[in-house]
Amino acid sequence: MNVVALSGGVGGARLVEGLCRALDGKLTVIVNTGDDCRHWGLAICPDLDTVMYTLAGVGDAARGWGLRGDTFTAHEAMRAFGEPAWFSLGDRDLATHLTRTAALARGEPLDAVTARLSAALGVTARVLPMSNEPAPTLVDTTEHGLLPFQEWLVLRRAPEVRGVVLPSGVAALPAARQAIDAADLVVIGPSNPYVSIEPILALPGVRDALSRRPVVAVSPIVGGAAVKGPLAEMIPRLSGVAPSAQAILDRYDGLVSAFVVERGDEIRGVPSLATDAVMRAPEDRLRLAREVLDLGARVRR
């Protein structure tokens, strides 16, 4: 089965890792780059790196970003020089950002350097940025107005949101569009729809291409709470309803053919599977991935 997954950071990356194992590495992942930023002059792609590190089995699972066992000596040295230290880059993680920054400066496209980094890490899945062009997500906050994504999430600790501004006219990566067109099944991971998945959906042609494919999504809301991050607080502000799995399904507005939710979180509108949707242990990733693929096979018929 030709499977394409759309992913943001932690939750999406965990499901992608399970899918990759379930499919013996035959998986294409299209990753949000709306949260990319520049820090100390370096090109940082947090969601791409979280997906690559998780697939390579070297990510810090507890923190959800960066490399397991990394140290922060350079970070402390930068702090001592008076450089901004609100965004932590680990010593080994820096090698990724240095390699990417140098490659982009030489004119290498983001998908090419991502493929090189993935291969060097031993990743077998095809990891694609959603675009080779910058596509920064801005978060409109009640208190501070428009903020770049990482300044909103990390520097300001996710203050109240009144909108999300996505760039227009940024081209989707052609290989991502082709992968969707060739997919037997598209999986949307348990990522934040507003700031992780909608930046991908907003690229010209992507929503249309997805509407022609079976799409199985996994709810990032469990029992009315977000598995991680500020999603639960964003739903009432951005969709005007209480946080629930149904609110996520409705947000995807007809795009999703079948939905995986936590037991007890019933939804209406599409076929669903109620299961243990929170991936705590590595076995959960493979089990959930298989359940997603089984559900996908059923909605394809």
Q: Which residue's CB is nearer to ligand FO1, number 89 or number 256?
A: 89
Collapsed DSSP state (helix, strand, coil) of residue 214? coil
Query: What phi and psi values does residue 181 have, to the nearest 5 degrees?
Result: -60, -30
User: How far is CA 188 from each of CA 120, 143, 201, rounded to the nearest angstrom?
Assistant: 26, 31, 11
Angle (CA) 166 66 35, round 5°: 5
Interaction of residue 99 with ligand FO1, rule CB under 6 A: no
How far is residue 205's CA from residue 256's CA, in Å, rounded to a whole number?
A: 17
Residue 95 Cβ, how far from ligand FO1 at the closest point, in Å? Answer: 12
Q: Which residue's CB is nearer to ligand FO1, number 89 or number 288?
A: 89
User: Out of 43, 44, 248, 261, which residue is the one contacting ligand FO1 (CB under 6 A)?
Assistant: 44
Q: Which residue's CB is nearer to ligand FO1, number 18 or number 230?
A: 230
Q: Which residue's CB is nearer to ligand FO1, number 9 or number 243?
A: 9
Q: Which residue's CB is nearer to ligand FO1, number 89 or number 166?
A: 89
The beta-strand segments (E) located in the chain are 3-7, 27-31, 37-39, 42-44, 126-129, 138-141, 145-148, 161-165, 185-188, 215-218, 221-222, 225-226, 258-262, 272-275
Interaction of residue 40 with ligand FO1, rule CB under 6 A: no
User: Out of 153, 166, 209, 279, which residue is the one contacting ligand FO1 (CB under 6 A)?
Assistant: 153
Task: Tell me which stretch binds ligand FO1 (CB under 6 A): 82-90, 114-122, 130-138, 281-289.
Answer: 82-90
Residue 153 Cβ, how far from ligand FO1 at the closest point, in Å? Answer: 5
Q: Which residue's CB is nearer to ligand FO1, number 82 or number 240?
A: 82
Asked if residues 16 and 27 have their Cβ atoms less than 8 Å apart, the reply is yes
Site string for ligand FO1, 52-71 (x = CB under 6 A): -------------xx-----
**For residue 200, what is the enclosing H or E element?**
helix 198-201
Cβ-based neighbours of 99, under 8 Å, separated by 6 or more: 113, 116, 117
**101-104-110-114 Cα dihedral, nearest 10 degrees:** -50
Q: Which residue's CB is nearer to ligand FO1, number 44 or number 234?
A: 44
Residue 253 Cβ, how far from ligand FO1 at the closest point, in Å? Answer: 22
User: Out of 31, 52, 89, 235, which residue is the one contacting ligand FO1 (CB under 6 A)?
Assistant: 89
Asked if residues 257 and 54 have their Cβ atoms less than 8 Å apart, the reply is no
User: Out of 60, 87, 250, 290, which residue is the one contacting ligand FO1 (CB under 6 A)?
Assistant: 87
Asked if residues 48 and 118 have their Cβ atoms less than 8 Å apart, the reply is no
User: Out of 38, 58, 88, 159, which residue is the one contacting ligand FO1 (CB under 6 A)?
Assistant: 88
How, if at all, do strands 215-218 and 185-188 pair? parallel
Q: Which residue's CB is nearer to ligand FO1, number 8 or number 136?
A: 8
User: Out of 17, 35, 265, 291, which residue is the one contacting ligand FO1 (CB under 6 A)?
Assistant: 35
Residue type, 12: G
Interaction of residue 220 with ligand FO1, rule CB under 6 A: no
Site string for ligand FO1, 2-31 (x = CB under 6 A): ------xx----------------------
Q: Using CB under 6 A as the criterion, which residues of the chain lie in contact with ligand FO1 when the complex forms? A: 8-9, 35, 44, 46-47, 49-50, 65-66, 87-89, 150, 153-154
